[in-house]
Amino acid sequence: CNRNDKQYVGFATLPNQVHRKSVKKGFDFTLMVAGESGLGKSTLVNSLFLTDLYKDRKLLNAEERINQTVEITKHTVDIEEKGVKLKLTIVDTPGFGDAVNNNECWKPITDYIDQQFEQYFRDESGLNRKNILDNRVHCCLYFIPPFGHGLRPVDVEFMKALHEKVNIVPLISKADCLTPNEVKKLKDRVRDEIEHFGIKVYQFPECDSDEEEEFKQMDKELKECTPFAVIGSNTVVEARGQRVRGRLYPWGIVEVENQSHCDFVKLRNMLIRSHMHDLKDVTCDVHYENYRAHCIQEMTSKLAQDNRTDSPLPILPLPTPDVETERLIKMKDEEVQNNHH
């Protein structure tokens, strides 16, 4: 019911109060980038966040890479804009898909994601919950090469291994080697294959019915445009009298932020300006809760196996076992399992 001026209580300021506190505290966001080397992941990250995170990177040659396994590297940067502080963490996965034999090359990545969930679960169940660090991965940009005819087996397997652990946003990388028609064909193909293989990529939430038309239109365009075909650039070039981020070719200049050239702007708007909060929410409310429920059920069934159901389950607080003990426990477990069969 509507209230007139006389009856103004003042709790309409509540959103402001909430946000004042959030602004003071600052935000954090963890973004993972995955895909083969050379697909422009680092460049894209630099373009998205206007930074240069990979200044001192040393690229390995083919021989050096023979013995390289998939690593997980983290770069953290603090960004401030208009008084809002963001602690951005980029989780990179060098080595993914680069070997000759790429069997289960996503395992270090799924392990990493699980570890962050586990860490959060322990912290959340502990006694001192004042300053829990949230290292959970909020979004994973997966880079699909533009050279093929759709998803490759490694793409499908990777996404299926991760779609229930993290928000996956598939991208068609280095889209400047495709004509508009080719882009459209590839997007359609990838979309069909995603559906065919039952891959659950990140879904944009439905628009409210009371949203403005312009917003609804934007939302519709966003949804129809996936997977985004992106181009990144670390260099600034002169185009049409302006300085823009772009790539200079003999036949023309590709402008990163030109919407008719690629979907970079759509990706950035989605990732940062409209869906960052939702990506975090889905990570907390869906992926993390799934992990947690699964974890508790496993612990419950393990204890049931050991016939210790009479005592109350010491779920909280979880002790933090040291690495060596964990390893021994795991070894013993496997032994027992093997003996059963």
Partner 1 sequence: MSEIVPPEVRPKPAVPAKPSHVALPSRSALLGYIGIDTIIEQMRKKTMKTGFDFNIMVVGQSGLGKSTLVNTLFKSQVSRRSTGWSRDEKIPKTVEIKSVSHVIEEGGVKMKLTVIDTPGFGDQINNENCWEPISKYINEQYEKFLKEEVNIARKKRIPDTRVHCCLYFISPTGHTLRQLDTEFMKHLSRVVNIIPIIAKSDTLTLDEKTEFKQRVRKELEACGIECYPQKEFDEDMEDKSDNDKIREAMPFAVVGSDKEYQANGKRILGRKTAWGVVEVENPNHCEFSLLRDFMIRSHLQDLKEVTHNIHYETYRAKRLNDNGGLHPISSGQDTQESNLTFCMDTPCLCE
Question: Crossing angle of helices 107-125/289-305, nearest 10°?
Answer: 80
Q: How far apart are CA 80 and CA 67, in angstroms?
A: 39
Tokens for 3? 């209230």
Pairing of strands 84-92, 73-81: antiparallel
Q: How far is the CB of 246 from partner 1 (least distance, A)?
A: 11
Of the pair 48, 194, the CB lying nearest partner 1 is at: 48
Q: How far is the CB of 254 from partner 1 (least distance, A)?
A: 15
Residue with tokens 């312009």: 214
Q: How far is the CB of 214 from partner 1 (least distance, A)?
A: 6
Q: How far apart are CA 25 and CA 31, in angstroms?
A: 20
Of the pair 41, 275, the CB lying nearest partner 1 is at: 275
Q: How far is the CB of 9 from partner 1 (least distance, A)?
A: 5
* DSSP symbols for 198-232: T--PPPPPPPPTTS-HHHHHHHHHHHHTPSEE---
Of the pair 243, 340, the CB lying nearest partner 1 is at: 243
Of the pair 242, 307, the CB lying nearest partner 1 is at: 242
The count of other CB atoms within 10 Å of the CB of residue 291 is: 20
| Residue 149, phi then psi, degrees to nearest 5 | -120, 35
Of the pair 297, 305, the CB lying nearest partner 1 is at: 297
Of the pair 17, 67, the CB lying nearest partner 1 is at: 17
The answer to whether residues 320 and 122 touch, using CB atoms and an 8 Å cutoff, is yes
Computed over its alpha carbons, how large is the radius of gyration of the chain?
23
CA distances from 215 to 192, 223, 266, 274, 282 (A): 27, 12, 13, 11, 21
Q: How far is the CB of 126 from partner 1 (least distance, A)?
A: 9
Phi-psi category of 303—alpha, beta or left, where left has phi over 0 and alpha has psi -120 to 50? Answer: alpha
Of the pair 183, 239, the CB lying nearest partner 1 is at: 239
Of the pair 277, 302, the CB lying nearest partner 1 is at: 277
Q: How far is the CB of 208 from partner 1 (least distance, A)?
A: 8
Angle (CA) 194 197 198, round 5°? 80
User: Looking at the chain, which runs of residues are DSSP E strands?
Assistant: 27-34, 73-81, 84-92, 139-144, 168-172, 228-229, 236-239, 242-249, 252-255
Nearest to 137 by CA among 282, 298, 295: 282
Q: How far is the CB of 44 from partner 1 (least distance, A)?
A: 14
